[in-house]
Chains A and B, each alone.
Chain A
Amino acid sequence: MIYGRRRIFVPLMMLLGFCFLYGPIVSLIVYSFNSSRLVTVWAGFSTHWYSELFHNDAILTAALLSLRIAAISATGALVLGTLAGFVLARYRRFHGRGLFGSMVTAPLVMPEVITGLSLLLLFVSLESIIGWPQGRGVLTILIAHMTFTLAFVAVVVEARLSAFDMSLEEAALDLGARPLKVFFVITLPLISPALVAGWLLAFTLSLDDLVITSFVSGPASTTLPMVIFSSVRLGVSPQINALATILVATVTVVVVIASRLMLTNEKRPPA
């Protein structure tokens, strides 16, 4: 009896869960092919909004800028975050370790408004004291994005390194490899899934950040989330649906490729 009920209950809950999670996205994608200007009225299939999107210079410029910022800041965050994660995982005892650890991970729990405001204040006072950075723009956005995304990279890398079998590095040392070579030949390839995951995480976070970016951006540096947000306030255009659909498709492809890569890398003996 119980089994009979469970056979209906579990799939039902799962269906509801999926609807809750993906229903809005599906409707967003469906209405991107709507020929009507009204987002809530279906008036037939059309790719009209896609062609209009590709002629919208403001959105295209913002999208390119966002992708560039996301790629550069994710790469910077990967380098800094890996160093931080390495230090946290390997050097268990040094002066100020507790402070360092909590400062690195602070952006994970800090409200974005506060991170954004404090960065803005920092940039303003830096400019008045040493004259750098001049004004707000792409550079300040990059610095801000690296600051908060490196926390995520550090956490991912630290977790991977904590589970790392130290005897692998010792074995390489024992066989005659110097410490720096051991890092590049043994450690780095083995933590590469975590590095890929960390980079993708940083990339996505940077790509869709609105709050912190709004604080530290300048006149010539409007990112995609800022364009979307301000255009939605004037009424939702189906162009935004089309843009969102392209973004969802891109993210899906990247995530699928990344998880495939990780799977082939993870085929290792049970620890």
Chain B
Amino acid sequence: MPLGGDGGAPYLRIEGVTKRFAGHAAVNNVSLDIGRGEFFALLGPSGCGKTTLLRMLAGFERPDAGAILIDGQDMAQVPPYLRPVNMMFQSYALFPHMTVASNVGFGLRQDKRPKDEIATRVSKVLDLVHMGRHAQRKPGQLSGGERQRVALARALVKEPKLLLLDEPMAALDRKLREETRFELVRIQNRVGITFIMVTHDQEEAMTTASRVAVMQSGNIVQVGTPREVYEQPATRFVADFIGAVNLFDGKVVEARDGAVSVIVEGLDVPIQAQGAPLAAGTAVSLAIRPEKIVLTAAKPEGASNLVQGVVREIAYRGDLSTYRIDLPSQKAVRATVPNIDRLAGPAVEVGQQAWLSWSVSAPVVLTQ
């Protein structure tokens, strides 16, 4: 993924930034480059340091070490009210004693813009988020989704160099959240501002962001497009955190021509996988996504990886069904089958034996 359109230096450069709270490093020597106009997501479980990193970009926390360069200027010691950065808060933080219009115009009034300019810019941005009709309401009279759009408008109106979004959809219900994702992407495309979003919801990050950084206990473990992070996770943590996965621990028995055989505890036959050449005896984990496992009642012909197990559970999820299969070693494996296939083929029911197979390209070989 290229960094921004104009080549050159990245728009936001985070260099070796560290933040400690009471001796504990919440953000530990993090470096990251983000290009102009990107929709970037910081993804990780709670307590991984993603919010602290975002708050350092906004200026609410000062880094103990490192530099934050926005468009080439070091921002680490600049107070929040002088930064070309605006933030949309998780609680939205709308001022309850002001109308929607004066909430949105607040930032422009601080810059002492002329009255008519404020009025036009406020109504333009309210139209962008479809809130023009509610300009004279108070935040207390709005629904959760409407408040979220006002908060977005208030952060957008100053046309900041960076727009920070702290868990922007956490307070919305599921259906609204899905609509809002598309809406957010549409608005980002329209305004062209660089968005940096913090989220613990991997689905949210995958569907909205152009690039994702996965964080774990203060460190960035992987940066890439949603597709790269999902298909080629760098570590067991990433594989497990992004989507569902089956992890097998084992040892390399043979490696040649970009293919490895891995003997896995509890399985008689080694699993064949593609991967970098590794010395025999290396401890590895194999990550296999549930949707890459083919489930059949009869033994399939010519499959490269084949194991047998007993179906213990079937969870119907509408578009797909998730199967839990116990291998002879008692290890539970998850497999998902689209319901369109499940209903067409011969059914595998709970308590029956089933064959699991997958291609050599399905497992990802992980060394850490």
A residues adjacent to B (C-beta < 8 A): 165, 167-168, 170-179, 181, 186, 189-190, 265, 267-269
Which of B81, B86, B96, B158 interacts with A268 by CB under 8 Å? B96
CB closest chain-A residue, reference B80: A173
Q: Is the CB of B93 within 8 A of A170?
A: yes
> In the complex, which residues of chain B have a beta carbon less than 8 angstroms from the beta carbon of A175?
81, 86, 106-107, 110, 154, 158
Q: Is the CB of B140 within 8 A of A167?
A: no
Q: Which chain B residues numbered 93 to 121 have a C-beta less than 8 Å away from chain A? A: 93-97, 106-107, 110-111
Contacts beyond the supplied A174-B60, A186-B95, A265-B97: 9 A-B pairs with Cβ under 8 Å: A168-B95, A170-B87, A171-B95, A172-B106, A173-B79, A174-B80, A174-B85, A174-B87, A269-B96
The proximity string for B residues 135-179 relative to A, scoring 1 for CB distances below 8 Å and 0 otherwise, is 000111010000100000010001000000000000000000000
> In the complex, which residues of chain A have a beta carbon less than 8 angstroms from the beta carbon of B207?
none
> In the complex, which residues of chain B have a beta carbon less than 8 angstroms from the beta carbon of A189?
97
CB closest chain-B residue, reference A167: B93
How distant is the Cα of A170 from the Cα of B138 in the complex, in angstroms? 20
Known contacts: A167-B93, A177-B81, A178-B81. The answer to whether A267 contacts B140 by CB under 8 A is: yes
How distant is the Cα of A207 from the Cα of B238 in the complex, in angstroms? 67
Q: Is the CB of B93 within 8 A of A168?
A: yes
CB closest chain-A residue, reference B160: A174
How distant is the Cα of A175 from the Cα of B87 in the complex, in angstroms? 8
A-B contacts at CB below 8 angstroms, number: 71
Interface CB pairs A-B, < 8 A, 15: A165-B91, A167-B91, A170-B80, A170-B93, A174-B58, A174-B80, A174-B81, A174-B86, A175-B110, A176-B110, A176-B158, A177-B106, A181-B110, A267-B138, A268-B97
Q: Per DSSP, are chain A's interface residues mostly helix, strand or loop, or mixed?
A: helix
How distant is the Cα of A176 from the Cα of B96 in the complex, in angstroms? 18
The proximity string for B residues 53-82 relative to A, scoring 1 for CB distances below 8 Å and 0 otherwise, is 000001110000000000000000001111
Q: Is the CB of A269 within 8 A of B147?
A: yes
8 closest Cβ contacts across the A-B interface?
A176-B110, A175-B107, A268-B96, A171-B93, A167-B93, A269-B140, A173-B80, A167-B89
Known contacts: A269-B139, A269-B147. The answer to whether A176 contacts B93 by CB under 8 A is: no
How distant is the Cα of A265 from the Cα of B106 in the complex, in angstroms? 20
How distant is the Cα of A189 from the Cα of B93 in the complex, in angstroms? 15
Number of B interface residues at 8 Å Cβ cutoff, please give it.
29
> In the complex, which residues of chain A have a beta carbon less than 8 angstroms from the beta carbon of B158?
175-176
How distant is the Cα of A198 from the Cα of B93 in the complex, in angstroms? 26
CB closest chain-A residue, reference B88: A171
Q: Is the CB of A172 within 8 A of B95?
A: yes
Q: Is the CB of B89 within 8 A of A176?
A: no
B residues adjacent to A (C-beta < 8 A): 58-60, 79-82, 85-87, 89-91, 93-97, 106-107, 110-111, 138-140, 142, 147, 154, 158
Q: Is the CB of B91 within 8 A of A176?
A: no
> In the complex, which residues of chain A have a beta carbon less than 8 angstroms from the beta carbon of B85?
174
Instruction: Give chain A nearest CB distance to B52 CB in angstroms.
Output: 14
How distant is the Cα of A181 from the Cα of B94 in the complex, in angstroms? 17
How distant is the Cα of A176 from the Cα of B109 in the complex, in angstroms? 9
How distant is the Cα of A247 from the Cα of B85 in the complex, in angstroms? 56
Q: Is the CB of A190 within 8 A of B96?
A: yes
How distant is the Cα of A186 from the Cα of B93 in the complex, in angstroms? 11
> In the complex, which residues of chain B have a beta carbon less than 8 angstroms from the beta carbon of A178?
81
How distant is the Cα of A181 from the Cα of B158 in the complex, in angstroms? 19
Residue among A173, A175, A179, A190 having the largest count of chain B Cβ atoms under 10 Å: A175
Residue among A170, A173, A174, A186 having the largest count of chain B Cβ atoms under 10 Å: A174
Instruction: Give chain A nearest CB distance to B164 CB in angstroms.
Output: 9
How distant is the Cα of A189 from the Cα of B80 in the complex, in angstroms? 22
> In the complex, which residues of chain B have a beta carbon less than 8 angstroms from the beta carbon of A268?
96-97, 139-140
> In the complex, which residues of chain B have a beta carbon less than 8 angstroms from the beta carbon of A179?
81
Q: Is the CB of A176 within 8 A of B97?
A: no
Which of A170, A173, A174, A190 interacts with B97 by CB under 8 Å? A190
Q: Is the CB of A176 within 8 A of B81?
A: yes
CB closest chain-B residue, reference A179: B81
Which of A165, A177, A265, A267 interacts with B93 by CB under 8 Å? A165
> In the complex, which residues of chain B have a beta carbon less than 8 angstroms from the beta carbon of A269?
94, 96, 139-140, 142, 147
> In the complex, which residues of chain A have a beta carbon less than 8 angstroms from the beta carbon of B80?
170, 173-174
Which of B58, B111, B139 interacts with A176 by CB under 8 Å? B111
> In the complex, which residues of chain B have a beta carbon less than 8 angstroms from the beta carbon of A265?
97
How distant is the Cα of A181 from the Cα of B106 in the complex, in angstroms? 12
Q: Is the CB of A170 within 8 A of B60?
A: yes
Residue among A167, A176, A181, A189 having the largest count of chain B Cβ atoms under 10 Å: A176
Instruction: Give chain A nearest CB distance to B194 CB in angstroms.
Output: 16
CB closest chain-A residue, reference B139: A269
How distant is the Cα of A176 from the Cα of B85 in the complex, in angstroms? 10
How distant is the Cα of A222 from the Cα of B14 in the complex, in angstroms? 70
How distant is the Cα of A174 from the Cα of B95 in the complex, in angstroms? 13
> In the complex, which residues of chain B have a beta carbon less than 8 angstroms from the beta carbon of A171?
87, 89, 93-95, 154
Residue among A171, A177, A189, A268 having the largest count of chain B Cβ atoms under 10 Å: A171
CB closest chain-B residue, reference A269: B140
How distant is the Cα of A165 from the Cα of B139 in the complex, in angstroms? 15
> In the complex, which residues of chain B have a beta carbon less than 8 angstroms from the beta carbon of A170?
58, 60, 80, 87, 89, 93
Instruction: Give chain B nearest CB distance to A177 CB in angstroms.
Output: 5
CB closest chain-A residue, reference B83: A174
Instruction: Give chain A nearest CB distance to B78 CB in angstroms.
Output: 12
> In the complex, which residues of chain A have a beta carbon less than 8 angstroms from the beta carbon of B111?
176
Instruction: Give chain A nearest CB distance to B94 CB in angstroms.
Output: 7
Instruction: Give chain B nearest CB distance to A257 CB in angstroms.
Output: 19
> In the complex, which residues of chain B have a beta carbon less than 8 angstroms from the beta carbon of A176?
81-82, 107, 110-111, 158
Instruction: Give chain B nearest CB distance to A263 CB in angstroms.
Output: 13
> In the complex, which residues of chain A have a beta carbon less than 8 angstroms from the beta carbon of B79?
173
Instruction: Give chain A nearest CB distance to B266 CB in angstroms.
Output: 50
> In the complex, which residues of chain B have a beta carbon less than 8 angstroms from the beta carbon of A167?
89-91, 93
